[in-house]
A and B are shown apart, each in its own frame.
Chain A
Amino acid sequence: MQVAQDLSFISLISHASVLVQLVLALLLVVSLLSWWVIFQKIFTIKLEIQQTEAFEKDFWSGANLNELYQSAANARRDSGTLEKIFEAGFREYAKLKKQSGIDSNSIMESTRRAMRAAYQRNIDKVESHLSYLATIGSVSPYVGLFGTVWGIMNAFRALSNVSQATIAHVAPGIAEALVATAMGLFAAIPAVIAYNHFSHDINRLATSFESFMEEFSNVLQRQSGSN
């Protein structure tokens, strides 16, 4: 017959059943991880966009390709995806160019393959953990809902012992249970928003990389044709 008057957040959680508490703890951990990934992605994508813009500026300002290759090879670990694509393509091109007896078409083919390999390796790195955000966004509301349903089940089961049922007997239990849904939504909403935002950003980056690859292979073809 005890009716909890104090509905503060801490008492709500401490009165909840073990399973609801477990669900809450799980959702808290998941939400922490998702926010960690969100912030990390914010930083990496921002850095990637900056580096891409800087390299495109360098490239189209008419710098010598050899000099660009030297600087890209020296700053290997510090370079962005676009610089790496350029480096891989130019290295392949230069290697095959030294060997005589290979026609320009096959040189261009292998250059493109090298660039594509570098592109895919790097875009994969940028995209990593994004699927994690998508999973959190779609699953955590259900996990929260599970906790809520379980809590409400318990609240109604406790009601069966009481002869005169009032809303005051069920209300605290339902409030406890609903905290789980709130937690699930708190984990899911930012994850979904971030996932959509990041996938849009990464798509834009990928198109800019692909168009750069096309343009760069055109440049190389022109060079090999002129030589």
Chain B
Amino acid sequence: MRALAREQDKLLSGVLAFAVHVLFVAFLIFSLRWQSKQPDTMEVQLWNALPTPKEVIEVKPKPIEHEQVEPTAIEEPVPEPSKEIQKPDILIKEKIEKDYKKEELLKKEKIKREQEKSRLEELKHAKEKEELEAAQRQQDDVRRQQQEQAMAAQTQIRSEYVTRIQGKIRRLVVLPPDIAGNPQAEFDVVLLPGGEVLSVKLKKSSGYAAYDDAVERAIYKAQPLPLPPDPTLFPSFRELHLKFRPEN
């Protein structure tokens, strides 16, 4: 009895121990997977720049709906007055011609109504035009914003890479001794698409020829200079105006 119970205990404890570990491993796998998903949410934040065009797309269909609704509203009242007018016309022709004035009055009313209608229609057209123009203006604004954003991104990339280029060159400058103060040397550098230096021109000397030479040597030594991976951005890097100081 006891031996059997002990055997059962051993088996049961083995199973329980295994279950504990399965739970532990499952916890590790799932908890760490959640962590690995966090970068995805950070990628989603990059889309924040785009929602504005979405709003425009939502706005667009609205004027179209108005256009579809309004013409029917205008057409409906038109046949009703004409029937009213035709009926009295027939009656008048059959009975008396004296009520000619009435007819004239009616005609005048008709003309007035038509004039009013046309005026209303004109107003409506004008409104529609305004709406369309407003929508277009919004679109233009969005486009301009996007362009500005793209430009801003470009300038940001440009400034980032220019600082990188300057940093790489500065690291390679071997400072000559005996430089008083912090004089600035300015260079015009022409680059090739691979990051090679085509030409270096001293624009403004620092006053220390040794320092100017050291910087020029460093510029050549720093080849290839770091450039953004996107080749379409290269034109803005073709000619660079770089400024260097011994101490930054």
The proximity string for A residues 29-43 relative to B, scoring 1 for CB distances below 8 Å and 0 otherwise, is 001110111111011
How far, in angstroms, from A44 to B17 measured CA to CA in the complex?
A: 16
B13 within 8 Å of A by Cβ? yes
B33 and A43 within 8 A (CB): no
Task: Pick from B21-29, B112-120, B137-145 the stretch touching chain A.
Answer: B21-29
Select A8's contact among B14, B18, B32, beta carbons within 8 Å. Answer: B32
Binding-face segment, B2-10, B56-64, B146-154, B202-210: B2-10
Question: Would B29 and A77 count as touching, CB distance under 8 A?
Answer: no
CB–CB A8/B13 < 8 A: no
**Docked-complex contact B16 and A39, CB < 8 angstroms:** yes
Name the one of A7, A31, A77, A182 contacting B2, with C-beta atoms under 8 angstroms.
A77
Q: Kindly list chain B residues whose C-beta atoms are within 8 Å of the C-beta of A6.
A: 36
- Judging by beta carbons under 8 Å apart, are A8 and B33 in contact? yes
Please tell me if B20 contacts chain A, counting CB pairs below 8 Å.
Answer: yes
Q: Which residue of A28, A42, A78 is within 8 Å of B1 (Cβ)?
A: A78
Chain A's interface size range is 20 to 34
Partner of A35, one of B17, B28, B29: B17
CB pair B36–A8 under 8 Å, yes or no, is yes
- Determine if A39 and B32 form an interchain contact, defined as CB atoms under 8 angstroms apart: no
Q: Check B1–A36 contact: CB distance below 8 A.
A: no
**Interchain nearest-CB distance for A96 vs B (Å):** 29
B198 proximal to A (CB < 8 A)? no
Nearest-CB distance from B24 to chain A (Å)?
6
Contact B35 A43 (CB under 8 A): no
In the complex, what distance in Å separates the CA atom of A32 from the CA atom of B17? 6
Q: Is B39 an interface residue (CB 8 A)?
A: yes
The answer to whether A43 touches B12 (Cβ under 8 A) is: yes
B18 touches A32 (CB 8 A): yes
B41 to chain A, nearest CB (A): 14
Residues from chain A with Cβ under 8 Å of B32 in the complex? 7-9, 12
B39: chain A residues within 8 A (beta carbon): 5
Select which of A8, A33, A39, A182 is within 8 A of B12 by beta carbon: A39
Q: Tell me if A7 and B35 are in contact (CB < 8 A).
A: yes
9 nearest A-B pairs in the assembled complex, by CB-CB distance: A39-B13, A35-B17, A9-B32, A36-B17, A43-B9, A40-B13, A9-B29, A78-B2, A7-B36
